[in-house]
Amino acid sequence: MPTKNTSIHGEWSSRLAFILAAAGSAVGLGNIWKFPYMAGENGGGAFVLIYLACIAVFGLPIMMAEVMLGRRGRQSPINTMKTLSQQESAHKAWGLLGWSGVLAGVLILSYYSVIAGWSLSYVIESVSGSLKGISGTQAGELFESLIASPLTLIFWHTVFMVMTMIVVARGVIGGLEVAVRYLMPSLLILILVLIAYSVSQGHFMLGVEFMFTPDFSKINQDVLLSAMGQAFFSLSLGMGAIMIYGSYLSQQASIAKTSFAVALMDTSVAILAGLAIFPIVFANHLDTGQGAALIFNTLPLAFGQMPGGVIFGTLFFVLLVFAAWTSSISLIEPAVAWLVERRGLTRIKASIICGFVTWLVGLGTVFSFNIWETYTMFDKTVFDLLDYLTTNIMLPLGGLLIAVFVGWSMRESSVRDEMAMSNPVLYQAWRLLIRFVTPVGVLLIFLNVIGII
């Protein structure tokens, strides 16, 4: 058995701290901004059904595997995969899996920061009272004016990146853990408040029907790929975030229990977000397939009409920013940790370097909504291309390779030792999934999408 690796970055103070941090990574714009519009574009209930299946069959088993790799390696994803490849006598090419995760995190944060900047802008709009009594048309015009201004988007993109790097620079306990301790419970409370509003003022049962009545005619290869990609995006899988957070997890904590708690919390928030948003969509006769603008066209309507809307609207957009904030710090943490390990830089210097590179890449997303709007590659804008590349290709492929490495390249004695699952039946069920069901399922969807089968 190899010597246990140790982390130079610190450790979560408790199992609860890890759950909150990992949930903070998972619960973010992927749930509140992306999940509702993905469901809207892909037929509602049909997408939700496939999404939940993807969480159970692909997401949870791979999350457990990724946490296990992180705790086993106790380093950045790049060095973790390099170290474990050596310790498990696997091919050194497995080290590329760590690089892929770090790259995916940087690319996702580059456009994630721009979207989070929209939320920052809407905080100001809500505080100023601009949303009060706003109509559907006015909400659309407000959003269009925002994304049409590259200077405005660059400003908010910069503000959000600075916020992110300040937290990361402070380290595991002083930065990451403090940031998530209070913010995620607060966000959940605000979502429940919005659901209560939807029940009283929106077409709530239409929203429920849309979310949970599957139209099987909508299920095709595109829906399968989108649902699988969203499951990986929402759970922060394949981007190094869960692996690096796992490296800070105490040896006494149960990987299975903590991973299940994170997946349950993440999926619940995604469903609740849909139940909060779609009744408002139907009540105001809006299109459910509006795409990325859905949350910014619908929520202003709710807050503009409800009593105390200025207060609730401000709080919601502030907490939406916080949800994005806790996710963004996990996206850049793997790159920062690697620079600290590899180059011996302080966390402050490493954070500045990583933050600037990510900010620079993010300008492509900023311009894709305005001055580069007509420039496309493979019929996609820069934003759409980055979103498709990371969500539908890099994250599922990363998850597939994690499953293959854990299921086939690591010694079972090492896996069993690190997982430390007391129930042998559950361990064997997870091992069956991670070796056969999960990788085969992901691979079949890929082959179908590219037209081989």
Q: Any idea what the CATH number is for the domain that residue 320 is in?
A: 1.20.1740
Average pLDDT over residues 433-452: 79
Q: What is the pLDDT of residues 174-185, one digit of tens each?
A: 666 776 777 777
Average pLDDT over residues 360-380: 94
Top mean-pLDDT range of 144-153, 217-226, 282-291, 374-383: 144-153
pLDDT value at residue 16: 79
Which tokens belong to 428?
């064997």
Q: How confident is the model at residue 446 (pLDDT cuts 50, 70, 90)?
A: low
Cβ neighbours around 403 below 10 Å, total: 26
On whether residue 7 sits in a domain, the answer given is no
pLDDT value at residue 430: 97
Q: How confident is the model at residue 388 (pLDDT cuts 50, 70, 90)?
A: confident
Q: How confident is the model at residue 313 (pLDDT cuts 50, 70, 90)?
A: confident
Q: What is the pLDDT of residues 10-28, one digit of tens each?
A: 677 777 777 878 887 877 7
Instruction: Calculate the average pLDDT of the chain.
Output: 87
Measure the CA–CA gap between 83 and 63, rounded to whole angstroms: 20
On whether residue 310 sits in a domain, the answer given is yes
Total count of domains within the chain: 1
Average pLDDT over residues 117-123: 95
pLDDT value at residue 173: 62
Measure the CA–CA gap between 245 and 363, rounded to whole angstroms: 28
Residue with tokens 């919005």: 194
Decide if 373 contacts 280 (C-beta within 8 A). no
Measure the CA–CA gap between 273 and 191, rounded to whole angstroms: 7
pLDDT value at residue 301: 78
pLDDT value at residue 86: 95
pLDDT value at residue 192: 87
On whether residue 9 sits in a domain, the answer given is no
Measure the CA–CA gap between 90 and 83, rounded to whole angstroms: 10
On whether residue 431 sits in a domain, the answer given is yes
Among residues 409, 420, 408, the alpha carbon closest in space to that of 255 is found at 420
Average pLDDT over residues 405-422: 95
pLDDT value at residue 98: 95
How does DSSP classify residue 3?
A: P
pLDDT > 90: what percent of the chain?
A: 43
56-60, 159-163, 316-320, 401-405: least confident range: 316-320
What is each CA distance from 381 to 99, 109, 338, 387, in whole angstroms?
Answer: 25, 17, 31, 10
Decide if 330 contacts 244 (C-beta within 8 A). yes
Contacts of 388 (CB under 8 A, 6+ apart): 380
pLDDT value at residue 399: 87
Which tokens belong to 208?
């429920």
Measure the CA–CA gap between 92 and 361, rounded to whole angstroms: 29
Which tokens belong to 157?
């993109």
pLDDT value at residue 449: 59
pLDDT value at residue 360: 98
Contacts of 418 (CB under 8 A, 6+ apart): 68, 71, 72, 255
On whether residue 2 sits in a domain, the answer given is no
How does DSSP classify residue 410?
A: S
Measure the CA–CA gap between 44 and 74, rounded to whole angstroms: 40
pLDDT value at residue 434: 96
pLDDT > 70: what percent of the chain?
A: 93
Instruction: Give the domain range for residue 130.
Output: 15-449
pLDDT value at residue 172: 63
Cβ neighbours around 135 below 10 Å, total: 13
> 45-54 and 255-283 helices cross at what angle (nearest 10)?
170
pLDDT value at residue 401: 94
Q: How confident is the model at residue 290 (pLDDT cuts 50, 70, 90)?
A: low
On whether residue 1 sits in a domain, the answer given is no
202-206, 263-267, 308-312: least confident range: 308-312
Task: Give the pTM.
Answer: 0.89
Average pLDDT over residues 220-225: 79
201 or 51, which is more confident: 51
On whether residue 59 sits in a domain, the answer given is yes
On whether residue 281 sits in a domain, the answer given is yes
337 or 237, which is more confident: 337
Measure the CA–CA gap between 250 and 173, rounded to whole angstroms: 13
